[in-house]
Amino acid sequence: MADCREQAVSEDYFDYIFNRYFAEDGDLCRIVAGYGLGMEMRPRAENAPFESYFTLPKLYGLMDVQAADSIGALRVQRTEGLELYGEGCLVGFIDTGIEYDNPVFTDDGGQTRVVSIWDQTDQSGKPPEGLFYGTEYTREQILQGTAGGRDEIGHGTYLTSIVAGRADFAEEFTGIVPQAQIAMVKLKPAKQYLRNFFLVKEDAIAYQETDIMFGARYLLNVARRLQMPLVIVIGVGSNSGPHTGADALSQFLSRAAEEVGVAVVCAAGNEGDKRHHFFGTLTDRQDYTDVELRVGEGYDNATARPGEVVDMPEMNVPDTGFTLELWGSPPDIYTVSIISPEGEVVPRIFATTEESQTYDFIFNRTTIDVSYRLLEFLSGEQLIFMRFKNPTPGIWRLRVFGRNLLEGDFHIWLPINDFIDSETYFLEPDPDTTITAPGNAEALLTVSGYDSETGSFFIESGRGFAGNGEIKPDVAAPAVNVLGVQVSRLPEEVRYVRRSGTSIAAALAAGACVQLFEWGIVRGELPTMRTVEIKNLLIRGAARSTNQVYPNNEFGYGIINIYATFRALIFSGEN
């Protein structure tokens, strides 16, 4: 399998998600994630593939732009009979790496609590068993200071400190579970062909779905080897997919969350105020409805005004632009026509099971690829996938037609904010149904954000419910101006920073999950605990305002209060 190691990171090979229903080819390299899912690598074709939306790894970005006390964790640490600091538990991150020699990640004896690192970006050492690429670093190498996986961005270090950082009373800082063990997966950047296919901004940080899936598999393997309960923190998100949990990563994480001693916590995302979601309804009495989309000047360097000639060698200048995804539920069938700011029209396509067309506009350099899938593999929903390449700035209209309508409801999503020009958005957006994947999966614990100082909802936080009406988010946690550790690059120096974002809320919730695992599994009070039990216990103790109806699409079932959860357990007589 030596060649498979290179193929996993090589731009000369395309990556495809497979599941048990796809035929095997003995000549292809395959990496198995588990639960029937994995990735196979094929030699590079002329263009990026779109034979199946499911098989194409989607791209994920970072969900980040006194909190421990706000969720009741400090009281749980200090209450006699509880005193839960995370001992005997493992918390795992799939992120940007970790500053593993930072003193905040040591125990009382000064020894590291980072037990394992998989650096997907490093091909110099031995990869984890069955995963073929990257390098795994052991606790011994971490203690010697010879490990990889260092965090150049700072996101992974910051989140890890919030969950498991040692107390620094001078700075009034402590992690939720400062005695927990830590495992880190440093994600490799997404392959360039996928960035090109999804037309991601050149400077955007993007990771591919398969690497996150394999990262979760690695953390599960580490926890099994150490025989510790595991909390997985997912601080990345994507707007790709139907927002129902019917995507490969959501399915994999959902299966993992069903295992005893495993909890999977994910962020609701920061798309609530970005104007990247449109919700529409058609009836049989309407011929169509128009969706107006403003395209910003950020793509103007790749476009021509009417009558203008642009000298742009095609081989040297990559396409800029963005993608759009329209999702509708059967038996409804949708078709689209696209109207440019100059009035040029992409004619309506009457969709068959699968149909793809490319349109070149006369008055500008815009090219639009439109692909229809009447039954997308995993969700069973209809997908219209559109790629706007080198779009001219201005107001575009997407004319949506419907037939065979029963519900008549459809959703359209633009990519997450980091992947797209900030001045490209819907003119009549819907802030609901903006939780990013994998946060719409029922089995996972999904956490939205609020401001613990004011008690108000974090305006950027993704809002529910899921695309299929599933109640999401589950709970809320602080996400505004939260203190954590930043990368210092100087030995023994600990530097702090305040950040906002729902990945922070997910990290705080993960700390509460570790406390529950220590109580339930390590101490034997509830040894069969899984994500669903943890979710229900957190909901039981959640703080709820008398001014709101619960569950709602902002706070879910309320704000996490882990101390109230334990009080409910004690007074209910559970043991």
Rounded Cα distance between 339 and 135, Å, is 49
Give the single-character DSSP code of 311: -
* DSSP state string for 23-48: PP-TTSEEEEEETTEEEEEEE--SS-
Q: What pLDDT score was predicted for residue 571?
A: 62
Average pLDDT over residues 428-452: 98
Highest mean predicted confidence (pLDDT) among 1-15, 312-326, 405-419: 405-419
Q: How confident is the model at residue 252 (pLDDT cuts 50, 70, 90)?
A: very high
Mind listing the pLDDT tens digit for each residue in 26-45? Answer: 678 889 999 999 999 988 87
Other beta carbons within 10 angstroms of residue 256's beta carbon come to 25
Q: What pLDDT score was predicted for residue 417?
A: 95
Q: How confident is the model at residue 54 (pLDDT cuts 50, 70, 90)?
A: confident
Ranking 63-67, 76-80, 497-501, 510-514 by mean pLDDT, the lowest is 63-67
Q: What pLDDT score was predicted for residue 321?
A: 96
Q: What pLDDT score was predicted for residue 303?
A: 42
Query: Is it the case that residue 65 has pLDDT exceeding 90?
Result: no
Q: How confident is the model at residue 572 (pLDDT cuts 50, 70, 90)?
A: low
The mean of the pLDDT values for the chain is 91
Is pTM beyond 0.85 here?
A: yes
Average pLDDT over residues 82-90: 96
Q: Are strands 236-237 and 59-62 parallel, antiparallel or unpaired?
A: antiparallel
Query: Is it the case that residue 18 has pLDDT exceeding 90?
Result: no
SS (H, E, C) 157-220: HHHHHHHHCCCEHHHCECCCCCCCEEEEEECCCCCHHHHHHCCCCCCCCCEEHHHHHHHHHHHH
Query: Is it the case that residue 174 has pLDDT exceeding 50?
Result: yes
Q: What pLDDT score was predicted for residue 378?
A: 84
Only one residue has tokens 């970790």, namely 98
Query: Is it the case that residue 24 has pLDDT exceeding 70?
Result: no
Degrees (nearest 5) of the Cα angle 203, 293, 238?
A: 45
Average pLDDT over residues 529-541: 97
CB proximity list for 316: less than 8 A, separation 6 or greater:
none
Residue 468 burial (10 A CB sphere; 0-12, 13-18, 19+): middle
The neighbouring-strand residues paired with 401 are 335
Q: Which tokens belong to 259?
A: 């295992």
Residue 541 belongs to what H/E stretch?
Answer: helix 531-541
Which one, of 33, 154, 200, 178, lies nearest residue 104 by Cα? Answer: 178
Average pLDDT over residues 405-423: 95
Q: What pLDDT score was predicted for residue 47?
A: 59
Q: How confident is the model at residue 19 (pLDDT cuts 50, 70, 90)?
A: confident
Q: What pLDDT score was predicted for residue 48?
A: 55
What are the backbone angles phi and psi of residue 444, rounded to the nearest 5°? Answer: -90, 160
Query: Is it the case that residue 575 has pLDDT exceeding 70?
Result: no
Query: Is it the case that residue 310 has pLDDT exceeding 90?
Result: no
Mind listing the pLDDT tens digit for each residue in 118-150? Answer: 999 999 999 999 999 999 999 999 999 999 999
Query: Is it the case that residue 170 has pLDDT exceeding 90?
Result: no
Residue 406 burial (10 A CB sphere; 0-12, 13-18, 19+): exposed
Ranking 289-298, 302-311, 312-321, 433-442 by mean pLDDT, the lowest is 302-311
Give the single-character DSSP code of 415: P
Q: Are strands 382-389 and 114-119 parallel, antiparallel or unpaired?
A: unpaired
SS3 61: strand
Average pLDDT over residues 364-375: 90
Query: Is it the case that residue 50 has pLDDT exceeding 70?
Result: no
Q: Which tokens belong to 202?
A: 């050149």
Rounded Cα distance between 498 and 303, Å, is 40
Highest mean predicted confidence (pLDDT) among 38-52, 204-218, 299-313, 372-386: 204-218
CB proximity list for 375: less than 8 A, separation 6 or greater:
330, 353, 381, 382
Proportion of the chain above pLDDT 90, given as a percent: 75
